[in-house]
């Protein structure tokens, strides 16, 4: 039975990849609603859509939250902006503009952000996932406004000024974080930097940094360059292990915890290192990719762990928001280094969306544009398709389709894995019978990529 399922998945994937593009905004458009807000027309993204009808569902997990939020609008704006930049699709530019107008409405005069709106389109100012602050939703707000400024600067200068003003209002809050620069504390002998968001929230800080990097790339503002460097210093302080030592170069997410979702340190450090010509940042990103990402590909994905108590590792739930940081991080590493093994690793990681997972089930449907909400356990798929999963899937594909070397591995499935001496390895196969093997060799201090024309397995 397993062989039949594997054959069907591989055949389905090969047929699907014959299409010109896997990016389909149909479901994201379904989640989008145009509303009037403070005298202007803006777009919002509804938070959830549940199987089987996929009608809009409000957010209620943390008390009354609302129907739409900056978290999702910001991410969607980034995807549309990148899609426009790479394809010049005018509809994507227009949708990004409407989402950015909503994000601007959600920014307070002091530069902080609210997150949710209620069904009557009023702002949720008191909810614990929405109160005015400079945290997760502010990070995504700054990211989208910064990228928007870079893109609209050459398209609509007056709108670009509004976006730049939004970023400038937020910068004093970055400066406030960095008042603590250099201060650390210890938890179970691990150093904890105090100048990141939430006093060690490397995960949330990465999304802020993605915005600062975009902003610096167009303004060359040396003050922002300093912010980027100091925040990246905090990320690198939370990296532990090496080729032989656990946790093999992983960047912690918060305190002593590592979790797969939203851990964009490799993406940030590769991008920042390239822009700032900082080899140390790129080396830190490479260390995580070479030793930790390779192990995830070979041994299997998992959700989270406390690296001070690794025996309590949690495997599920696995979600799109965990895959995108790895994939785009590997792509940015290729951009920074020119090393093609990162394209191969990016393609094999992204193949999770097309059946290379524990369920052997596609987690993205290119015919509808739905990104499914995750893998609940070893036998159960979450068939709901909310904003986060759909947007993160689309973001992954918008980026990876620019690299044919990576895209060609989206229809590969892992068929075996093993260990031989100091080598960990896994072999992946497509429906044509072509195989590729990834070898992580701690003794050789590097990874090897072997294809079916060379050796199928390490000797």
DSSP string, 234-249: HHHHTEE--SSSTTTT
In the three-class reduction of DSSP (H, G, I as helix; E, B as strand; rest coil), residue 329 is classed as: helix
Residue range 174-184: average pLDDT?
98
Residues forming beta bridges with residue 441, ordered by sequence position: 423, 446
Three-state DSSP class for 320? helix
pLDDT exceeding 70 applies to what percent of the chain?
94
Q: How many CB atoms lie within 10 A of CB 360?
A: 14
| pLDDT attached to residue 60 | 83
Of the given ranges (5-9, 97-101, 177-181, 267-271), which has the lowest mean pLDDT? 5-9
User: Which pLDDT tens digit goes with each residue over 355-384?
Assistant: 999 999 999 999 999 999 999 999 999 999
Which has more confidence, 86 or 445?
Answer: 86
* pLDDT higher than 90, residue 413: yes
pLDDT band with cut points at 50, 70 and 90 for residue 20: confident
pLDDT confidence of residue 321:
98
- 186: buried, middle or exposed (CB in 10 Å: 19+, 13-18, 0-12)? exposed
Q: How confident is the model at residue 451 (pLDDT cuts 50, 70, 90)?
A: confident
pLDDT for the residue 453: 53
Instruction: With beta carbons less than 8 A apart as the criterion, state whether 301 and 326 touch.
Output: no
Q: Taking Cα atoms as reference points, which of 296, 287, 298 lies closest to residue 315?
A: 296
DSSP three-state, residue 366: coil
Least confident stretch, 38-42, 124-128, 266-270, 445-449: 445-449
- Angle, helices 70-87/90-105, rounded to nearest 10 degrees: 150
**Mean pLDDT, rounded, of the chain:** 94
pLDDT digits (tens, 9 = 90+) for 30-65: 999 999 999 999 999 999 999 999 999 998 876 789
Could you read off the pLDDT of 422-434 as tens digits, one per residue?
899 999 999 899 9
- The residue extents of the domains of the chain are 38-180
Task: State the pLDDT at residue 59.
Answer: 87
Q: What is the pLDDT of residues 111-149, one digit of tens each?
A: 999 999 999 999 999 999 999 999 999 999 999 999 999
Q: What is the pLDDT of residue 456?
A: 45
Q: Is the pLDDT of residue 436 over 80?
A: yes
Q: Is the pLDDT of residue 295 over 90?
A: yes
Of the chain, the percentage scoring pLDDT greater than 90 comes to 89
CA distance 76 to 99: 8
Encoding tokens for residue 178? 């960095």
Within a 10 A sphere around the Cβ of 220, how many other Cβ atoms? 10
In a 13 Å sphere around the CA of 117, the CA atoms on its Cβ side amount to: 24
Nearest-angstrom CA–CA distance, 25 and 390: 9
- Is CATH 1.50.10.20 what the domain over 38-180 is classified as, yes or no? yes
Cα torsion for 81, 86, 87, 93, to the nearest 10°? 10
């Amino acid at each position: 039975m397993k062989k039949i399922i594997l054959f069907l998945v591989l055949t389905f994937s090969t047929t699907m990849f014959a299409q010109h593009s896997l990016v389909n905004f149909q479901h994201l458009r379904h989640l989008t609603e145009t509303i009037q807000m403070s005298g202007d027309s803006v777009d919002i993204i509804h938070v959830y859509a549940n199987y089987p009808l996929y009608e809009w569902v409000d957010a209620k997990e943390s008390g009354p939250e609302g129907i739409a939020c900056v978290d999702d609008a910001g991410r969607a704006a980034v995807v549309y902006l990148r899609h426009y930049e790479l394809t010049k699709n005018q509809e994507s530019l227009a949708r990004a503009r409407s989402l950015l107008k909503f994000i601007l409405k959600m920014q307070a005069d002091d530069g902080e952000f609210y997150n949710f709106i209620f069904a009557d389109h009023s702002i949720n100012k008191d909810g614990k996932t929405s109160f005015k602050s400079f945290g997760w939703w502010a990070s995504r707000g700054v990211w989208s406004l910064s990228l928007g400024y870079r893109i609209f600067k050459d398209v609509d200068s007056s709108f670009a000024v509004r976006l730049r003003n939004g970023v400038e209002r937020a910068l004093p809050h970055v400066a406030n974080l960095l008042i603590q620069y250099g201060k650390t504390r210890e938890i179970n002998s691990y150093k904890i930097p105090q100048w990141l968001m939430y006093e060690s929230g490397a995960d949330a800080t990465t999304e802020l940094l993605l915005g600062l990097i975009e902003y610096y790339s167009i303004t060359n503002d040396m003050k922002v360059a300093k912010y980027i460097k100091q925040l990246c210093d905090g990320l690198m302080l939370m990296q532990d292990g090496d080729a032989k030592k656990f946790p093999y170069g992983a960047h912690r997410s918060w305190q002593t915890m590592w979790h797969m979702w939203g851990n964009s340190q490799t993406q940030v450090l590769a991008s920042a290192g390239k822009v700032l010509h900082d080899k140390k940042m790129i080396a830190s990103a490479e260390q995580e990719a070479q030793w930790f990402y390779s192990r995830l590909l070979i041994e299997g994905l998992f959700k989270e762990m406390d690296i001070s108590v690794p025996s309590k590792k949690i495997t599920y739930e696995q979600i799109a928001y965990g895959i995108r940081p790895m994939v785009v991080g590997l792509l940015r590493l290729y951009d920074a280094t020119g090393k093609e093994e990162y394209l191969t690793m990016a393609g094999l990681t992204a193949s999770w969306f097309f059946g290379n997972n524990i369920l052997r089930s596609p987690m993205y449907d290119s015919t509808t544009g739905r990104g499914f909400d995750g893998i609940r356990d070893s036998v159960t798929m979450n068939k709901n398709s909310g904003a986060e999963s759909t947007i993160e899937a689309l973001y992954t594909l918008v980026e990876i389709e620019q690299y044919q070397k990576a895209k060609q591995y989206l229809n590969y499935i892992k068929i075996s894995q093993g260990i031989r001496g100091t080598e960990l390895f896994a072999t992946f196969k497509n429906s044509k019978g072509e195989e590729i093997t990834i070898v992580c060799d701690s003794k050789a201090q590097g990874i090897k990529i072997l294809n079916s024309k060379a050796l199928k397995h390490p000797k």
